[in-house]
Structure 1
Amino acid sequence: MLGLLTAVDQDATLTQRGVAARLGIALGMANAYLKRCIRKGLVKVSQIPRRRYAYYLTPQGLSEKTRLTAEYFSNSLRFFRMARVEYAELLNTLSRRQAKRVAFCGVSELSEIASLCAGEAGVEVAGILDLAETSIKSQVGHLVVSDVRALGVFDAILITDFIDGPASLEKLQAVLPAECILAPKMLGLSTRAAGAVME
């Protein structure tokens, strides 16, 4: 909803197809969201030449966009704080257990946060495993690889994939001992299955 209101606010001549492309959603979904915004009084529509429509935000729409933006940043900050606390706890526990090198599984904001926490805990980062096989070669100064063997020796691997954590966990369990696979509680993965039984 925030993305749609922002897109309309930035370009009143944006078509439904343009909204869909900008938000990365299907045209039918863009149509449904626009209709919903029009029904709620957040967006007005007027016809312009050549059977096209112009969309613009109403005062209520501008107010809702401001509210959603504030909510988004509040949630983002809360997410960052929660991730930082949980990865710090995992990495500090590993450090106390004499772990020297860890790896991360998943290129995301979580791997960036976990990397900061690793530095604070005095644990070296072996690299980041990218099971989605994107074209990213490094993140925050760490090598990104698509094969776990390319990471070399490490004591534990922390899941930092918040898009598809369960699939990452399953793939890791097929090639690594369960006790070296850890995941923060916020990902909602079974800590027993992930070997993340922390004292």
Structure 2
Amino acid sequence: MTRKGFAEKSRLTAKYLSHSFEFYRQAALSCVEVFQTCAANGRTRVLLCGVSELAEIASLRAREHGITLLGTYDPRHAEMRFLDLPVWQRVEDLPPCDFYVVTQLDGITEFVEALGNAVPRERILTPALLKVAPPSASLEIRAHRVTVRGHGARDAEG
């Protein structure tokens, strides 16, 4: 490899790592906001929705906020376990929970809409990182402010 080629490879590697760390920081902050909302509502039993890197980050942040993760719902994931917790492929099999936290990274809009047709929409939380509108009547997370569509607003602790 030439010096110029090595320099370009180094530059691209540094850029990739920078983007990866920025994703982690934004994902962690988005998860913290979601879990603060859960805790502020006194509801800590959460089901992640989507096997992904975001779900892995969410699992780390959940512990810091007293959140109990029940497992993950992902109809496309073939494995029965993820993060040492159960994975459900069918929405009919999901255990009772307080909130469904979307951690799906591919086809997010369609995933959220399908989920909203199967579970109570007001219990679906979408981290700000995903930049997807939650299904109507669900909670929106915006910098420690919780808005229940059609029901006014109230501040979350944080």
Global fold match (TM > 0.5): yes
SS state of the match for residue 90, structure 1? helix
Per residue, is there more helix in 1 or in 2? 1
Partner of 1:78: 22
2:12 to 32, 51, 68: 68
Contact 1:103 1:129 in 2 (8 A): yes
Q: How far is 1:193 from its partner?
A: 3.6
Partner of 1:162: 105
State the Cα RMSD in Å: 1.6
Amino-acid identity (%): 34
Name structure 2 gaps, 5 residues minimum: 141-145, 147-154
Partner of 1:144: 87
Contact 2:112 2:135 in 1 (8 A): no
Paired letter, 1:81: R
Which structure would you say has the larger RCO, counting Cα contacts within 8 Å and 6 or more residues apart? 2
SS state of the match for residue 144, structure 1? strand
Cα deviation 1:149-169 (Å, max 9, x = unaligned) = 333110110110112211210
Contact 1:169 1:194 in 2 (8 A): no
Partner of 2:121: 178
Contact 1:179 1:194 in 2 (8 A): yes
Q: 1:129 and 2:79 equivalent?
A: no
TM-score by length of 1: 0.66
How many residue pairs align between the two structures? 142
Q: 1:117 and 2:117 equivalent?
A: no
TM-score by length of 2: 0.82
Taking the aligned partners of 1:175 and 1:185, their CA distance within structure 2 comes to: 22
Taking the aligned partners of 1:98 and 1:157, their CA distance within structure 2 comes to: 15
Q: How far is 1:125 from its partner?
A: 0.9
SS state of the match for residue 93, structure 2? helix
Taking the aligned partners of 2:8 and 2:137, their CA distance within structure 1 comes to: 41
Taking the aligned partners of 1:151 and 1:97, their CA distance within structure 2 comes to: 21
| Runs of 4+ off more than 4 Å | none
Taking the aligned partners of 1:194 and 1:166, their CA distance within structure 2 comes to: 15
